Amino acid sequence: MDNLWAYLKNIWTKAEQSSPSHPLIHELIERSKEEKEDYEYWKRTLVLRRLLDWVKNQFSIHQLQPQHTDETVDFLNTPSSKGFVVHFHKTRYSKRDAVHFFDYLKERVLELGYRSQISDRRSYNRPDWVEMVERHYLKPGPVFNTTLSPGEKHQQRYGNIMLELEWRNDKIYNLRFRANSYRDRLFEEADDFQELMQLITK
């Protein structure tokens, strides 16, 4: 019994001390056969088309009249980082829709010649909820050429791409899509983010 109590006390202590940099749980994302089959079915539904059209339309509105962008989405635009956040907790989309959309965006980026660096999930305590973040991290492929000619620069496409699906107490909260570009002399300038948006939402 003493061993059991010590084990439980250790788990509670780790949970209380967990943080984004020291998660209680850190594991790779592995979808089950049933989840993969449901994903393939979901891609043929109108839900996906509505989500893609909505993100595309909101991006267009944001470029022309940012004050009229829907409250359920925000856009990021800095010199080195561009992207968007869908506030799924403010929408009527289901947990299933959010997870499948998260995986679909990864699939679209892979089709653009990117390679998957890692897909993982981390869980940790916040003061008022348990947070879990699923993450797809993708890099331009293939691996950078190390035999460049003098003066030649690495191609970075749209930069490294990070997809994050944030959960709070087992409910979907946000989906973040972010392209982070390199800004130094070793790399060509990143391709236009607007082009990336057109490609992933077509």
pLDDT of 20 above 70: no
pLDDT of 2 above 50: no
**Domain boundaries defined on the chain:** 26-201
pLDDT of 12 above 70: no
Q: Which pLDDT score, from 0 to 100, does residue 143 have?
A: 53
**pLDDT tens per residue, range 152-191:** 666 789 999 999 999 999 899 999 999 999 876 667 888 9
**pLDDT tens per residue, range 30-56:** 999 999 999 999 999 999 999 999 999
Phi, psi of 123 (to 5 degrees): -125, 140
- Asked if 80 and 68 touch (Cβ cutoff 8 Å), the reply is no
Which pLDDT band holds residue 124 (cuts at 50, 70, 90)? confident
**pLDDT: which is higher, 17 or 84:** 84
The token duo for 189 is: 């300038």
CA distance 85 to 135: 14
Beta bridge partners of 84: 75, 177
**pLDDT tens per residue, range 129-151:** 889 999 999 999 765 555 666 66
Give, for 50, the enclosing helix (H) or strand (E).
helix 46-64
- Of all residues in the chain, what percent carry a pLDDT higher than 90? 67
Q: Where are the beta strands (DSSP E) in the chain?
A: 25-28, 73-77, 81-86, 114-125, 130-140, 160-168, 171-180
Which pLDDT band holds residue 128 (cuts at 50, 70, 90)? confident
Q: Which pLDDT score, from 0 to 100, does residue 186 have?
A: 67
